[in-house]
Structure 1
Amino acid sequence: MSDVRVLNILGRDYSIRACAEEEVVLAQAMQLLQVRVQESQQRFPHASHQELLVMTALNLCVPLIQQEQRLAASLERINRQLVDLP
């Protein structure tokens, strides 16, 4: 069963439906987002809320892309090693 949880980001409420299994991850994501938005506010004090959210989203995406690239490179190395096995 999913419960609706209200998250407040930059003074605006967002209703998000989450099942019990997702609740912990959602809380962690919310906490991370709040921290990163605050960092963006410090770096760009005159940015609008929309600009802060966009910059924060971009800053969150960069490490994700880098992690995906490292994972793909690791999988490629493993596959090459498996092919080279006698």
Structure 2
Amino acid sequence: MTTYVERYEAAMVTQIKVELAERSMEQKDLADKVGINRVTMSHYMTGKRSIPMPTFLKIAEALAVAPGTLMDRADARVQPTAETA
């Protein structure tokens, strides 16, 4: 069973991927704009590492979307479990 945090983090990654696709950007472009290593970005985008808040804020800025908006869009993707439904 996955926790809410795990589902939310997965939803955030999915939303970031959607935002990238809408802007015809690749993960490497985002890594460059945020100022992090491409391997580190890959770890965030595959769920191997959680995105730290300062990096999340830079990602939102690089995507030209308000952090709260990005969080709301990810939250809308979170699937409820039997315990939370």
Superposition TM-score tier, normalisation by shorter sequence:
0.3 to 0.5
Structure with higher strand content: 1
Give me the TM-score of the superposition, normalised by structure 1: 0.33
Q: For CA contacts below 8 A with separation 6 or more, give which structure has more relative contact order.
A: 2
Give me the TM-score of the superposition, normalised by structure 2: 0.33
